[in-house]
Every structure is written in C-alpha cells, then in structure tokens.
Amino acid sequence: MTTDDQLVLAETHGRVGLVRFNRPKELNALNAALMEQLVTALEAFDRDPAIGCLVVTGSARAFAAGADIKEMADASAVDMLLRDNIARWDRLRMLKKPLLAAVSGFCLGGGCELALACDLIVASETARFGQPEINLGVMPGAGGTQRLTRAVGKAVAMEMVLNGRALTAAEAVRFGLVNRVAPVESYLDEALALAAEIAARAPLAVRLAKESVNNAFETDLADGLADERRAFYFLFSTADQKEGMAAFLAKRPPQWQGQ
Ligand code: DAK
C-alpha cells in the first residue's frame, strides 16, 4: 500500500486511538474507500482492550468537506441504493467506546454528519459546521436532518438545511452542537486530553453510560429510564464497581480492571 492509498492514518496516544483523514488535496472529502478505512481502523481500536476512547480528526483547514461529490455526481438512485454506503455509517453507530471528533476548518455535509455521529466534539476556533447539500440540489442523507435537529433545535437546523447556513465554532458551542472550542494550535491536544481522561475511567461503566445517553435519542422516556436502571444495576456485578466504591471510602485512587 502506498501512502496515496492510505486515506486515513491511525496512531495511538496512550489509551486513546486517533484516526486522521488523509485526503488533504480534496479537503478530506469522504469517498467510499476513505470511509471503509476509517470504519475499519475505528473498529480495530474498539476491539483493543488497551484503548479506552477513540478520536477522529482531519487537518486544520478541513475536518471534511463532505461526501465526495465526484463519486456521486453521475449516480442513479439505484446506484446509490446498491452501493449501500450507509452500511459503513451503521457500523460507526455500533462502536462501543466513546468517539470524539476533533474538528477544524470545513466541517460540511457528510463531514458535519460524521461529527454529529460522534459522541463528543472539540472544535477549533476556525471550525465551520454546515449542511450545504441544498446547493447541490439534494439534502442531507447521512443523519443531518435528524441528529442536527436534535442537537441545535428546529429553528437553527431548518436554516442550515434549507438555506445552507454554516455555524461558526462560537455559534456551535452556544447551540450545544460542540463540547468546547480551542485555538487552532491546540484543539487537537485538547481533544486528546479529554479523550485520555475518559479513557482512564472504568471501561464497562463508560460503555454502558454511552449506550444509555445515546438511547435518549432512540426511545421514549419510560423505556430509556428502564434501560438506564438495568444498566446501573448490572454495574453492581462488576469488579470495578466494588473497586470504585471501596477506593472512595478508603480515600485512594481506584484501579480499574475493566471487569
Ligand atoms: N467532494 C469532492 N471534492 C471536493 C469536495 C467534495 N465534497 N469539497 C472540496 N473538494 C475538492 C475541490 O473540488 C477541489 O479540488 P480541485 O479542484 O483542486 O481538484 C479541492 O477539494 C479544494 O477545494 P476548493 O478549491 O473548492 O477550495 P475552496 O477553499 O475554494 O472552497 C469549500 C472550500 C469547502 C467551500 C468548497 O470546496 C466546497 O464548497 N466544497 C463542497 C462542499 C459541499 O457541498 N459538501 C457537501 C457534499 S454532499 C450518505 C453519506 C454522506 C452524504 C449523503 C449520503 N449516505 C451514506 C447515504 C453526504 C453528502 C454530502 O456531503
């Protein structure tokens, strides 16, 4: 494989697995090959017990400028359906460990949808979040109308989706789309530091807590509360619950086993 074929680059930082997009000339446009490499790399980290949190990032200029327009410009509806690119996005949803997006520059279309599919977003001051598909005669197709609306509310989502309005990083944090904003020089370090903190926590509790929070978007309140309670009770069967509470009472730091 040449570096040209390496559309993502994976590296570890302690217990954090970092995947970087590597299509700088195309502003990290998400073609099928890149998405396959991304999901495969994230799944490998997800299976690795030495990793506790995943981070995906682009470059300072572009997180990702959307799905690859060249790849879909001439496609028919049947081509789109048979390509089934959405299957890779479904695999992203199945990741068990927290997934954090470190976003700078253009975060547009499928790039914005990818960030929205992550559990947390750390943005640089230069990040711009937008769903410009309307300018191409289409609309968001990988969750933009659903996750964006849940994140920022109907009024802002409508403006973004119907009129291509892009949000600045400051707006994105105010509307609840991103967790925090940092200078472009340090946003990735800040994202890695947040990921490292999460990766140092009790793995089973983190896994079930992620599932429960995401469940809030998939179910009604009664079912969500029932699922949360079952997950909470289940954690009392783990060694880490005994350790966490014993450590608190003994006034010492806990040693997690992930068991
Ligand atoms: N696709 C392909 N190439 C792209 C691209 C994209 N989305 N965005 C940029 N590029 C390429 C440009 O064509 C250019 O290539 P060359 O001409 O140099 O060969 C290079 O990147 C640099 O771009 P510019 O020269 O345009 O750079 P500027 O700084 O002038 O402008 C820009 C930057 C981000 C404002 C501009 O490039 C732009 O407007 N890009 C398009 C943004 C966009 O419309 N994004 C939405 C695409 S539609 C789904 C999954 C995903 C999706 C839907 C369904 N399923 C699985 C069902 C998502 C759809 C989309 O994202």
pLDDT value at residue 133: 98
Q: How far apart are CA 76 and CA 72, in angstroms?
A: 8
Q: Ligand 1 in contact with 29 (CB < 6 A)?
A: yes
Known catalytic residues are 67, 110, 113, 133
Minimal-distance CA residue to ligand 1 atom 22: 26
Question: Sign (positive/negative) of CA torsion 218, 219, 224, 227?
Answer: negative
pLDDT value at residue 4: 63
Q: Which domains does the chain have, with CATH numbers?
A: 3-199 (3.90.226.10), 203-250 (1.10.12.10)
Question: 51 Cβ partners below 8 Å, 6+ apart?
Answer: 12, 15, 16, 17, 45, 97, 199
Measure 148 CA to ligand 1 centroid, in angstroms: 19
pLDDT value at residue 244: 98
Among 115, 98, 113, smallest CA distance to 195 is for 98
Model confidence, pTM = 0.97
pLDDT, mean of each 10-residue run, the chain (259 residues): 80 98 98 98 98 98 98 97 96 98 98 98 98 98 96 97 98 97 98 98 98 95 98 98 98 97
pLDDT value at residue 174: 97
Question: Sign (positive/negative) of CA torsion 152, 155, 156, 158?
Answer: positive
- Ligand 1: residue of 21, 26, 27, 113 to mutate (most ligand atoms within 8 A of CB) is 27
The atom of ligand 1 lying closest to the CA of 140 is 53
pLDDT value at residue 5: 86
Question: 70 Cβ partners below 8 Å, 6+ apart?
Answer: 29
The atom of ligand 1 lying closest to the CA of 89 is 56
